[in-house]
Chains A and B, each alone.
Chain A
């Protein structure tokens, strides 16, 4: 597994899912794409460190896959059903322009990657992994600020998390297990609570357009 084909595929899929997410307006497919991205990213610990024969990367991969591939989409689809919203109408930045912005973010990240003199990645031949993670992080942030519905903002948060996960796995091989499990649990609870909040919002306001939450100011 050290030939780099696996990680390269992950890299490609990561970027493709990023761009797909920016370009699609149907919320249901956005949720599916994010779930796919989550599963792909979860594979990284096994692909990069699995050959060392430890059981640790397998546990992480398994836990993260179940969360990102099954639990999160299930929670979000439920919110979607409750609110009856199908698609993201009129985002602040149009879908075509969003894809352009995504490509710009990718190029910027690659440039940053060459400028930063980071200590050598844990796995050799993976110099593009950190920029890809960084680009995913930026694209997640972009989703949060440029979309109106609560569901897309939660998706943006998951994408940010995927980006950080990629950077983390590549940059630092051996964060203690307890920490990684703690982080995983926090992310789970965060998405769980955000879904509950989005559910309450849809019940209280009859919409999940968070741009209209603007009563508090000054």
Chain B
């Protein structure tokens, strides 16, 4: 019942957005509806924890600890971004640059992408999961160019082509999984059901399964932004409006990683638990961390800087997943920390960018004095992102280091520390300039609301709190989810 409600509510809201009478109403609906849907997602997730896995539609819809955890994170990011969108578009509403047409399109696609991501999380059928991922690409493509400019068109085109073709590889992988399951003699309607495959993972044909995982890694890895498949990511993140960037970075990338998490226990089962699939994830993870580090040092554009941070953090999550053991737990925790932190950073840089008319970090110098709320948000967000203690990201990265040491993966450990070190120095320099540097530009200040302060300080407080103390229910949730992926708590 709850699962159906979660899936049906966003399309209904999207339809309502299409017939709303004014741009203002669309935005109001987007923020109120988004927050409401987020609350429903949270309630569903906690129901799944309280009463065990939820099923619907004859086992095709399925919510277990792993997907419930991701659903809760999605709810958090989506709800916060929806509320933020209201403030973000106020300026454009006031000077009339946001037409009713674009506002309707934004509202409809905004809820549409939520529906697609929910479909990925709820679907027990691996084929439908793929359909959901492809749908997120298609629905979010036009969110990048809410304002049609040459640059946003370019970003959208790259995003569309790279992600559609990349994700097509994941479909070949899905077919190969079905082929490797043929010896189980399952009925067509059960052939791709994850729960069935998980039960008999040890019986899957190892050869096709390995090949399948390679295809899946390339396909979903493109969508997740793992290097060297990340080429679309900085462009799309930098051109999209800030609420969209926050949703992209905070959760859409994780949706693709979530798919890989579903396949990891299958491939481990089929190959006899030798860590073959995990090893591949470690390689991609390390590569992403190092490559992002180099680009972060030389980045001048605030949003592109954050986009490369996404590549880095997705790499860290992949590394944790690949290492297994406590690394899986830490990777899942890192997912939440990164989502909160990246949403905060994109919110702040988006509003600062509106005030300064550019995202160039050099020209935003001295933002902390001009707009204390968003200045603190950006500076605090970057500090948390680069792993300053005692923010939560430091803690989860530290646990991934421990996992690497426990797995005797000393090469990975060294490279991870190297990458994190470069990022630390490089990003800190950028953040200091934009916070306290000599002023170059006169910003057009916008009046701040209570909601702004709540978003910024709420997120910072959450990151600080999680870094210092982990609530019992969250620990249990993470442990249960990690067990599903195959790590030991």
- A residues bordering B, Cβ < 8 Å? 116-119, 137, 141, 144, 150, 153, 156-157, 160-161, 164, 167-168, 171-176, 178-179, 182-183, 185-186, 189-190, 193-194, 197-198, 200-201, 204-205, 210, 213-216, 218
A212 to chain B, nearest CB (A): 9
B128 within 8 A of A: yes
Q: Which of B151, B165, B211 has the most CB of A within 10 A?
A: B165
- CA of A194 to CA of B176, assembled, Å: 28
Q: Is the CB of A218 within 8 A of B299?
A: yes
A52 to chain B, nearest CB (A): 12
Q: Is the CB of B208 within 8 A of A193?
A: no
Given A176-B189, A193-B142, CB of A186 within 8 Å of CB of B178: no
Chain B hits for A161, CB < 8 A: 168
- CA of A215 to CA of B145, assembled, Å: 15
B126 to chain A, nearest CB (A): 9
List the 5 shortest-distance A-B pairs measured between CB atoms, nearest first: A174-B188, A179-B127, A182-B131, A213-B154, A186-B134
B93 within 8 A of A: no
Q: Closest chain A residue to B189 by CB distance?
A: A176
- B residues bordering A, Cβ < 8 Å? 125, 127-128, 130-131, 134-135, 137-138, 141-142, 145, 148, 150-151, 153-158, 160-161, 164-165, 168, 171-172, 175-176, 178-180, 182-183, 188-189, 191-192, 205, 207-208, 211, 234-235, 238-239, 295, 298-299, 304
B169 to chain A, nearest CB (A): 9
Q: Is the CB of B168 within 8 A of A216?
A: no
13 example contacts (A-B, Cβ-Cβ < 8 A) are as follows: A118-B208, A144-B165, A164-B172, A168-B171, A172-B179, A172-B182, A175-B188, A178-B125, A189-B138, A193-B160, A197-B153, A197-B160, A216-B151
Q: Is the CB of A164 within 8 A of B171?
A: yes
B5 to chain A, nearest CB (A): 20
B127 touches which one: A117, A176, A213 (CB < 8 A)? Answer: A176
Q: Closest chain B residue to A181 by CB distance?
A: B131
Q: Which of A117, A157, A161, A218 has the most CB of B within 10 A?
A: A218
Q: Is the CB of A216 within 8 A of B125?
A: no
Chain B hits for A157, CB < 8 A: 161, 164-165, 168
Chain B hits for A160, CB < 8 A: 165, 168
Q: Is the CB of B178 within 8 A of A175?
A: yes
- CA of A77 to CA of B452, assembled, Å: 48
Q: Which of A164, A167, A176 has the most CB of B within 10 A?
A: A176
Chain A hits for B179, CB < 8 A: 118-119, 171-172
Chain A hits for B238, CB < 8 A: 216
B59 to chain A, nearest CB (A): 12
A41 to chain B, nearest CB (A): 15
A137-B172, A160-B165, A194-B161 known; 9 other A-B pairs, CB under 8 Å? Answer: A161-B168, A172-B178, A172-B179, A175-B188, A194-B164, A197-B153, A205-B153, A216-B234, A216-B239
A179 touches which one: B131, B135, B137, B155 (CB < 8 A)? Answer: B131
Chain B hits for A168, CB < 8 A: 171, 175
Given A193-B141, A197-B153, A216-B235, CB of A119 within 8 Å of CB of B183: yes
Chain B hits for A144, CB < 8 A: 161, 165
Q: Is the CB of B168 within 8 A of A213?
A: no
Chain A hits for B141, CB < 8 A: 193, 197
Chain A hits for B192, CB < 8 A: 175-176, 179
Chain A hits for B178, CB < 8 A: 171-172, 175
Q: Is the CB of B157 within 8 A of A193?
A: no
Q: Closest chain A residue to B175 by CB distance?
A: A168
Q: Is the CB of A182 within 8 A of B128?
A: yes
- CA of A187 to CA of B325, assembled, Å: 39
Q: Which of B125, B178, B179, B298 has the most CB of A within 10 A?
A: B179
Q: Which of B145, B154, B207, B304 has the most CB of A within 10 A?
A: B154
A98 to chain B, nearest CB (A): 18
Q: Closest chain B residue to A121 by CB distance?
A: B179
- CA of A197 to CA of B180, assembled, Å: 38
Q: Closest chain A residue to B126 by CB distance?
A: A179
- CA of A194 to CA of B159, assembled, Å: 11
Q: Closest chain B residue to A184 by CB distance?
A: B131
Given A186-B138, A204-B150, CB of A150 within 8 Å of CB of B157: yes
Q: Is the CB of A119 within 8 A of B205?
A: yes
Q: Is the CB of B156 within 8 A of A197?
A: yes
Chain B hits for A194, CB < 8 A: 160-161, 164
Q: Closest chain B residue to A214 by CB distance?
A: B154
Chain B hits for A216, CB < 8 A: 151, 154-155, 158, 234-235, 238-239
- CA of A176 to CA of B58, assembled, Å: 14
- CA of A153 to CA of B162, assembled, Å: 11
- CA of A172 to CA of B238, assembled, Å: 40
Chain A hits for B188, CB < 8 A: 173-176
Q: Is the CB of B157 within 8 A of A215?
A: no
B115 to chain A, nearest CB (A): 13
Q: Is the CB of A200 within 8 A of B148?
A: yes
Chain A hits for B191, CB < 8 A: 172, 174-176
Chain A hits for B164, CB < 8 A: 157, 190, 194
Q: Is the CB of A183 within 8 A of B154?
A: no
Q: Is the CB of A183 within 8 A of B151?
A: no
Chain B hits for A153, CB < 8 A: 161
- CA of A34 to CA of B137, assembled, Å: 24
- CA of A176 to CA of B298, assembled, Å: 49
B233 to chain A, nearest CB (A): 11
Q: Closest chain B residue to A150 by CB distance?
A: B157
Chain B hits for A183, CB < 8 A: 127, 130-131, 134, 171
Chain A hits for B180, CB < 8 A: 119
Q: Is the CB of A215 within 8 A of B150?
A: yes
- CA of A67 to CA of B257, assembled, Å: 31
Q: Is the CB of B298 within 8 A of A213?
A: no
- CA of A174 to CA of B148, assembled, Å: 43
